[in-house]
A and B are shown apart, each in its own frame.
Chain A
């Protein structure tokens, strides 16, 4: 009897594998889309404002002003255009050609010489891009501070204009603060969501739509066997794509991998099974590919993208939305992945997040087992 059961499951898995390879929309979801996403996150998009275009207005070309301009020019953070009048740049700021404007007043040299208590350098930023804007401000601060230290050395003034308290930042896990290191683990979570939820929802809904489900139900195949037979191939597919993503990220995009493979596989499995259960649930409820694909996008993909902390900071969201993110499995998985890749097997992060995943997964599985009935009515 057990042998027969195993054979049924194996038959179902074999069938599923053959179908994935032959159906163009499965190929699209399982292979093309993950490839595009991995490429875009690994290579394309970035949050690092390197070489931000800024304008520097030098109202008078005194040596001090020129050396400050040079300081901005030499900074890798900027791509500088220098002008003499701020009005030259205002239109560029409106058009988005520059993201910031640094105005070195004509009075700079004069007030430094006089030893004025405060000399103001204006930093005007394009507030319509708040993230870039805060980078421009931060960079400007750093550049000016460094310049002042430099100045006080050069001039050897008795009364230093160097800041009294300076900061020494040390960035752990990601010393060069590359956003790619932060985005790539997250994108793996997105890819696994797509395979787990969207693909699974579509294939099971297709069985309903084409009437093959009815034929399966009239065979000795049991509910549990059906669920296992459906989940296994997509589980393997998901883990396969995880493997590819990890290898590509580590070799091609030089993402460090500081955790252990065992933990990665364990946590990923739990997440993937949760998402597969969600996919099965969606398809069982909708029984129609069109509806299933839409629900999968709204319930699976969009939250994994927007509410998982993958790009956007959960702690900055309003409280109700933060609460909402607690039921999004990707939220826990993204945290785990970022930790496993960049920090290592940190128990204090992995254990609670994995437990949360297990809890959500169990609830979904229970619902699936309940909804996957052996009858049509």
Chain B
């Protein structure tokens, strides 16, 4: 049995690795995607365009406007001459935020009265608008604090912000580990998903079935190489994350490798399931895609899981990617202790057992 299995595993690996083009296909696209998407998939807000409508000509208002110039977040600042210009600027997306300073602003500030500025935000890009509002408010409140502290003895409460695990809230530190999860899912699914479908389409599957190989051996012979390939891909991407993107790796390598193994088992199980179901390679690719899109959306990659409606969060428990995202970000950035990793790993293990079991059942029942 070991001999037969070995022959099958070697064949599977050769089928993918022998051809130079398919070797390249395994390495180049994931790396390209990694590079493009880790910079592209950002919710961070930089290079913001801002409009300032300063109806006041006093010193305070000028100083406040100056603060915005000094901030690196705001790149393009347009000065508006009147109310009538606000709407066109926002409408045409010339600025996501217009700050309007009323004509009594400086007077009120100098006389110690409370003053206010108005922010007009473009709600079409709701997330960016909210974040920009946060930045702008910070600038204004710092300005306000300094005004307060210039009056001797005025008390003030200040927020001391500490970003754990990612001191500068560098978005790449979030995206890159997440992409490790996303890309190894993608590769694991495609490699496994195609493995049976390809043989069905080429007619070689019958050849395997008439050989002394038992269905269980064929299944193992498909699982092991796909798993190995996906694992190597995962390591490659991991290496890029650590050495090219310089994302700090704070946790235990062993925990991550173990987590990746459990995770890929689940993915390979799903891939085999799709593969057993599909009659052609095209169906296998589509099947993988139909699984991949919701899995990615409900993984916490683009949007946090906790923002979803509660019952959908329950559904997301069945998504191996969701659990793995927690593990990989946790191990990378948070030095997650084994107990917490284990707490997130066991659901994946359960999913792996279920999917592998279902795949082998389906595989057997569709042999004819």
Residue numbers of A with Cβ under 8 A of B are: 25, 28-29, 32-33, 36-37, 40, 43-50, 52-53, 91, 93-96, 99, 108, 111-112, 115-135, 137-138, 140-142, 144-145, 148, 159-175, 177-179, 181-182, 202, 289-290, 293-294, 297-298, 301-302, 306-307, 309, 311-313, 315-318, 321, 324-325, 335, 338-339, 342-343, 346, 348-349
Contacts A125-B164, A182-B125, A338-B124 given; does A28 touch B290 at CB 8 Å: yes
On whether the beta carbons of B293 and A131 are closer than 8 Å, the reply is no
Q: Check A123 against B158 for contact (C-beta < 8 Å).
A: no
Query: Is B157 close to A, CB under 8 A?
Result: yes
| Interface set of B (CB-CB < 8 Å, partner A) | 29, 33, 36-37, 39-49, 64, 88, 90-93, 109, 112, 114-131, 133-134, 136-138, 140-141, 143-145, 147-149, 153-167, 169-171, 173-174, 280-283, 285-286, 289-290, 293-294, 297-298, 302-304, 306-309, 312, 326, 329-330, 332-337, 340, 343
Instruction: Given the known inter-chain contacts A137-B134, A167-B117, A168-B116, please indicate yes or no for A339 contacting B169, CB distance below 8 A.
Output: no
- Are the C-beta atoms of A168 and B117 separated by less than 8 Å? yes
The 9 closest A-B pairs by CB, nearest first: A174-B123, A127-B166, A138-B134, A348-B92, A289-B282, A127-B163, A173-B123, A165-B144, A45-B303
- Evaluate contact between A141 and B159: CB separation under 8 angstroms: yes
Closest to B198 in A: A290
Contacts of B307 in A (CB 8 A): 45-50
Residue of A at shortest CB range from B46? Answer: A316
Interface pair A47/B127, CB less than 8 Å apart: yes
B93 shortest CB reach to chain A, Å:
6
Give the distance to chain A from B90, nearest Cβ to Cβ, in Å. 6
Q: Let me know if B119 and A120 touch, CB within 8 A.
A: no
Is the beta-carbon distance between B121 and A119 smaller than 8 angstroms? no
Q: How far is the CB of B92 from chain A (nearest CB, A)?
A: 4
Contact: A293 with B123, CB < 8 Å? Answer: no
Complexed CA–CA distance, A72 and B208 (Å) = 65
Residues of chain B within 8 A (CB-CB) of A50 are 307
Assess the B286–A161 pair: CB atoms within 8 A: no
Q: Which chain A residues lie closer than 8 Å to B294 at the CB level?
A: 36, 40
B123: chain A residues at CB < 8 Å are 171-175, 177, 181-182, 342
Q: Please give, as numbers and ranges, the residues of chain B lying within 8 Å of A124 by CB-CB distance.
A: 162-164
| Separation of A53 and B310 alpha carbons in the complex (Å) | 14
**Which residue from A33, A122, A142, A165 sits with its C-beta under 8 Å from B116?**
A165
- A-B contacts, 11 listed (Cβ < 8 Å): A112-B157, A121-B159, A123-B161, A127-B163, A128-B330, A130-B173, A134-B134, A142-B137, A163-B114, A182-B127, A349-B92
A317–chain B nearest beta-carbon distance, Å: 5
Asked if B162 and A125 sit within 8 Å, CB to CB, the answer is yes
Q: Are B174 and A128 in contact (CB under 8 A)?
A: yes
Q: List 13 additional contacts besides A33-B293, A121-B157, A160-B154; criterion CB under 8 Å.
A: A29-B286, A43-B309, A44-B308, A96-B330, A112-B157, A124-B163, A159-B155, A164-B148, A167-B141, A315-B48, A318-B39, A324-B36, A343-B124
A144 with B283: CB separation less than 8 A: no
Q: How far is the CB of A195 from chain B (nearest CB, A)?
A: 14
Instruction: Report whether A134 and B169 are in contact in the complex, using a CB–CB cutoff of 8 Å.
Output: yes
- Out of A120, A131, A141, A172, which one reaches B121, CB within 8 Å? A172
Give A135 to B158 CA distance when docked, in angstroms: 17
**Chain B residues with CB below 8 A from A137, complex form:** 134, 159, 161
A47, B122: Cβ atoms under 8 Å? no
The interface residues of chain A lying within 8 Å CB-to-CB of B157 are 108, 112, 118-119, 121, 144, 148, 161
Cα A181 to Cα B141 in complex, Å, equals: 29
Which residue from chain B places its CB closest to the CB of A100 in the assembled complex? Answer: B164
Which chain B residue has the least Cβ–Cβ distance from A68?
B157
Contacting residue for B302 out of A45, A53, A96, A349, CB 8 A: A45
Residues in chain B near residue A37, CB distance under 8 A = 293
Chain B residue at smallest Cβ distance from A145: B141
Measured in the bound complex, the distance between the Cα atoms of B155 and A162 in whole Å is 9
Given A25-B282, A25-B286, A165-B140, A130-B130 contact (CB < 8 Å): no
B131 to chain A: which residues have CB within 8 Å?
A: 131, 134-135, 138
Given contacts A36-B294, A164-B148, A172-B121, contact A52 B162 (CB under 8 A): no
Select which of B37, B114, B158 is within 8 A of A166 by beta carbon: B114
User: Complex: how many Å from CA A178 to CA B124?
Assistant: 9
B residues near A145, Cβ cutoff 8 Å: 141
Which of A50, A171, A348 has the most CB atoms of chain B within a 10 A radius of its CB? A171
- List chain B residues, Cβ under 8 A from A321: 36, 39-40
Are the C-beta atoms of A174 and B126 separated by less than 8 Å?
yes
Min Cβ gap A200→B in Å is 14
CB distance from A288 to the nearest CB of B (A): 9
- Determine whether the beta carbon of A128 is less than 8 Å from that of B333: yes
Question: Which A residues lie within 8 Å of B39 (CB)?
Answer: 317-318, 321
Q: Give chain A residues whose Cβ lies under 8 Å from the Cβ of B153.
A: 115, 117, 159
CA distance A115 to B174 in the complex (A): 41
A25 with B343: CB separation less than 8 A: no
In the complex, what residue of chain A is closest to B35 when comparing beta carbons?
Answer: A321
Q: How far is the CB of B54 from chain A (nearest CB, A)?
A: 14
CB closest residue in chain A, given B201: A290
Give chain B residues whose Cβ lies under 8 Å from the Cβ of A174.
123-124, 126, 129
Q: A134-B169, A140-B159 are in contact. Are A289 and B43 (CB under 8 A)?
A: no
With both beta carbons as reference points, the residue of chain B lying nearest to A51 in the complex is identified as: B306
One of A43, A162, A168 near B119 (C-beta < 8 A): A168
| CB closest residue in chain A, given B154 | A159
Q: Is the CB of B154 within 8 A of A163?
A: no
Closest-CB distance, A146 to chain B (whole angstroms): 12
Given contacts A40-B297, A316-B42, contact A172 B304 (CB under 8 A): no
Contact of A44 among B90, B109, B281, B309 (CB under 8 A): B309
CA gap between A128 and B340 in the complex, in Å:
16
Say whether B308 contacts A45, CB under 8 Å.
yes
A175 to B, closest residue via Cβ: B123
A144 to B144, CA, bound (A): 14
* Residue pair A343, B91 in contact (C-beta under 8 Å): yes
